[in-house]
Amino acid sequence: MTIGVASWRDSSAVGSAVAGWVSDSLDHFDDPDHQVHVAVANHEIVRIVTAGERRHFTGEVDAYVGELAVKAGHERGGIGSLLMRAAEQWARDRGLRRLTLETGAANRATRAFYARVGYYEEDVRLTESI
């Protein structure tokens, strides 16, 4: 089971999707409208954050974190906060006023992390099995 994924979702499909998102982000690391920051420990990447621009339905352009991923065993070391600050600075440097992201409602630990570093919940998606 993938941590923080709703019980009715296929966790292996979620894992594959996340791996694809990270791979796509790394493929665009030199795109000026995209930013990738990594944390390295013992010569391997243990955390990654990617940011780009995304238009909100109001028409305003926000910075958007596509992924903040951590390798198992490297949680709670403060690196996630530093990577988020780097993404925020990238957004400020571009003149953007907001940095947004999405995470699953079942991902309580991650939601608590984002609340600790100053993020507010804005949208909710509701699902019914039919």
Is pTM beyond 0.85? Reply is no
Strand pairing category for 99-101 and 61-70: parallel
Read off the pLDDT band of 59 (50, 70, 90). very high
CB-based burial label for 37 (10 Å; 0-12, 13-18, 19+) = buried
| 121 or 20, which is more confident | 121
Read off the pLDDT band of 1 (50, 70, 90). very low
Q: Which residues pair with 49 in a beta bridge?
A: 37, 68
User: Is 90 exceeded by the pLDDT of residue 106?
Assistant: no
Helix (H) or strand (E) run with residue 15 in it: helix 11-27
**pLDDT (0 to 100) of residue 34:** 86
pLDDT digits (tens, 9 = 90+) for 66-80: 888 777 777 777 888
pLDDT digits (tens, 9 = 90+) for 76-103: 778 888 999 999 999 999 999 999 999 8
Helix/strand/coil for 63: strand
Please state, rounded to an integer, the average pLDDT across all residues of the chain. 85
